[in-house]
Amino acid sequence: MARLLEFDDVHQAFGDENVLRGISFGMDRTDVEVVIGPSGSGKSTLLRCVNRLTEFDAGDIRLNGESVTAMDVDALRRRVGMVFQGFNLFAHRTGRGNVTLGLTEVRDIPSGEARRIADENLARVGLSGQADSYPAELSGGQKQRVGIARALAMEPELLLFDEPTSALDPELIGEVLEVMRDLAEEGMTMLVVSHEMGFARSVADTVTFLDDGIVAERGPPEQLFEHPERDRTREFLGELDT
């Protein structure tokens, strides 16, 4: 059976800059994969290639064996949710309104039913009381949890997280990681770009170290963090510790 997600020699350049230089790896249903690496290593670009917010130059990315470039882009995005570093909530809609937009416009769910689904997903991320609040009335951690609920409500096969806690004050990071941890336990397939090594260590099935557009090292967290094979990985992890 085809793997849920497969990168096959993916290349991407912006002008003269080769951001991805041949990425290949795959993940299966319920896998949690955390991608780490220095800034500029291509982590976010890799994620954005999956739902084609960035169109890659060469190679292939397959979802359930089907090339994402062959799919209708809107249909692809229905199946792959995304959570953004900067939250990107719709400022003119309440927490509930942020979640219902995709339900009513993309999944054609009637508005009453969409509200019910939205409230259910907001409850799932611990925001039952905030459904009627506008983004500007929420804390950073609450905003990001609305962002997660918005993606979850579409019932995606795969959730992409692009540095979901990097824009948060330190005291707000925990509540977002907690929600992500719960999702992982429920069996959600997640591809996460993050600097949260504690989260990677405890939740990830596999950690990928991306450096300069290539997969420098990849393995289970205990191996990658405790016994990295490459000097470059050791160096990077060493920089984080200090």
Partner 1 sequence: MDILPLQAGDWAFVGTNWWILMQGLYVTVLLTVGSLLLGFLAGFPGGAIEVYGRGPLRSVVRGVGVLLRGTPIVVLIVLFFFGVQWPDIGAVPLGGLLPLPAFEINGQALLASTAALGLRSAAYQSQVFRGAIRSIDEGQLEAARSVGLSKLEAVRHVVVPQALRRSIPGFQNEFTIVLKDTSIAFAVGLAELLTRGFELFTQPAGQTAVVEIILTVSAIYFVLTFLTNRTLDRVENRFAIPTGE
191 within 8 A of 159, measured Cβ to Cβ: yes
Which of residues 42 and 81 has its CB atom nearest to partner 1 in the complex? 81
Which of residues 163 and 211 has its CB atom nearest to partner 1 in the complex? 163
Which of residues 24 and 111 has its CB atom nearest to partner 1 in the complex? 111
Q: What is the dihedral of CA 135, 138, 142, 147, to 10 degrees?
A: 0
β-pairing, 5-14 with 58-63? antiparallel
Q: Which two tokens stand for residue 209?
A: 């170290």
| Residue in 89, 125, 127, 180 binding partner 1, rule: CB under 8 A | 89
Q: Determine if 161 is a binding residue for partner 1 (CB under 8 A).
A: no
d(CA 100, CA 96): 6
Q: Where are the extended beta strands (E) located within the chain?
A: 5-14, 17-27, 32-36, 58-63, 66-67, 80-83, 158-162, 190-193, 206-211, 214-219
| Residue in 92, 110, 112, 239 binding partner 1, rule: CB under 8 A | 92
**Residues in contact with partner 1, shown as a per-residue x/- string from 37 to 76 under the rule CB under 8 A:** --------------x-x--------------------xx-
Q: With contacts defined by CB under 8 A, how many residues of the chain interact with partner 1?
A: 29
| Residue in 62, 77, 96, 145 binding partner 1, rule: CB under 8 A | 77
Shortest Å, Cβ 113 to partner 1 = 17
| CB-neighbour burial class of residue 232 (10 A; exposed 0-12, middle 13-18, buried 19+) | middle
Region from 2-10, 119-127, 132-140, 232-240 binding partner 1, contact rule CB under 8 A: 132-140
Region from 16-24, 149-157, 169-177, 199-207 binding partner 1, contact rule CB under 8 A: 149-157
Shortest Å, Cβ 137 to partner 1 = 3
Q: Determine if 150 is a binding residue for partner 1 (CB under 8 A).
A: yes
- Which among 48, 51, 50 has a CA at the least distance from the CA of 14? 48
Shortest Å, Cβ 85 to partner 1 = 9
β-pairing, 58-63 with 158-162? unpaired
Q: Determine if 191 is a binding residue for partner 1 (CB under 8 A).
A: no
Q: What is the dihedral of CA 28, 29, 30, 35, to 10 degrees?
A: 40
10 Å Cβ neighbour count for 34?
Answer: 25
d(CA 9, CA 21): 8
**Residue 69 gets which letter from DSSP?**
G
Shortest Å, Cβ 155 to partner 1 = 11
Which of residues 115 and 209 has its CB atom nearest to partner 1 in the complex? 115
End-to-end alpha carbon distance in the chain = 44
Residues at the contact surface with partner 1, assessed by CB under 8 A:
51, 53, 74-75, 77-78, 81-82, 84, 86-92, 101-102, 105-106, 133-134, 136-138, 147, 150-151, 154
